Amino acid sequence: MVASSRLRGLVLTVCCLAVSLSAFAGRHHDVDISTFSGGTGQSCDDWQVRINGEKALVSSETVDVAGSSLAVEAAKSGGVTVRGGNSRGFSVTLCRAASSAMGSSALSQITLRRSGDKLSVDGPSGEEWVAHLIVRAPAGASLRASATNGPVDVADFEGTLDLDANNGPISLERVAGTITATTTNGPLSLDGASGNVTLKATNGPVTVKLSGGAWMGQSLEASSVNGPLTLAVPRGFSSGVEIRAAGHAPLGCPAALCGAMVKSWDDDDDEQKIVRFGGATPVVRLSTENGPVSVKERD
């Protein structure tokens, strides 16, 4: 769970996504958003919203965007879901919700604004509304997505991807290509990837699950500042892996993966710790500052 003055709670699992958002300083509106395992998260029908304890009014609209390049910016309290495999161009669905106190007229004020190859969300004054974007992207697409106080969730994407989340998580699953993801005050997770991947988290954990027998592509670099780093490695993974930890960052790696690791540091001091295993040249590089490191065998 991530907590901040604007974000009271956020839990992201394989089965469900639950987000509890508190409004801006001086406001007292509570927004709870849930998508459950009964749905795929790819439709506004899977989206359930409560504002101030009451079921919100919900509607949606979908627009098609031609071309292979797009940038999307979520609402100030909202997230982005990305799924690859769309056959022609981009398809963007706006899921919008407003409190019953604002009335159905507020829904019509929550709209998509397009400027060139960028889509953003406009809405009415007040804090009792929320919006979520669902993006279906073509193979080989170039996509930028950003969110504040909400999650960014990507799966089955191939192309160029640039993600940024503030006070919310980023989740990547089965992605390939040139991938950059940055979070501040939120967790970052990767499960199954290839290509040239860069992950950065500040004040949040990083979880990386490698798949297959080796890294396919140029490299993977993941770093965390003030947050734990967890790496899951399949048995027999042959690509070179390097892990660096600095500051008060204990590092644990089982001998079955890291070999007979020689410890030349004290976990209580600030000396940099370095572990390498697998191939001679590291192509998977992970680092953390002021956060524990855990390496385990992937199930």
Q: Which residues contact 14 (CB under 8 A, 6 or more apart)?
A: none
Closest by Cα among 99, 16, 113 to 61 = 113
Tell me how many degrees the CA angle 180-149-179 measures, rounded to the nearest 5: 10
Please state whether beta strands 293-297 and 251-252 pair in parallel, antiparallel, or not at all (unpaired).
Answer: parallel
Give whole-number Cα distances, 190 to 33, 210, 231, in Å. Answer: 23, 8, 10
What does the pLDDT look like over 194-211, one tens digit per residue? 999 999 999 999 999 999
Interval 141-177: pLDDT, tens? 999 999 999 999 999 999 999 999 999 999 999 999 9
What is the pTM assigned to this prediction? 0.84
Bridge partners, residue 182, by sequence: 164, 200
Q: How far, CA to CA in Å, does 187 sit from each of 1, 36, 173, 259?
A: 9, 20, 14, 29
Mean pLDDT calculated for residue range 111-139: 92
Segment 284-295, tens digit of pLDDT = 999 998 888 889
For residue 105, the 8-state DSSP code is: H
Q: How many CA atoms lie within 13 A of 40 on its CB side?
A: 7
The ranges assigned to domains in the chain are 169-299
pLDDT at 269 over 90: no
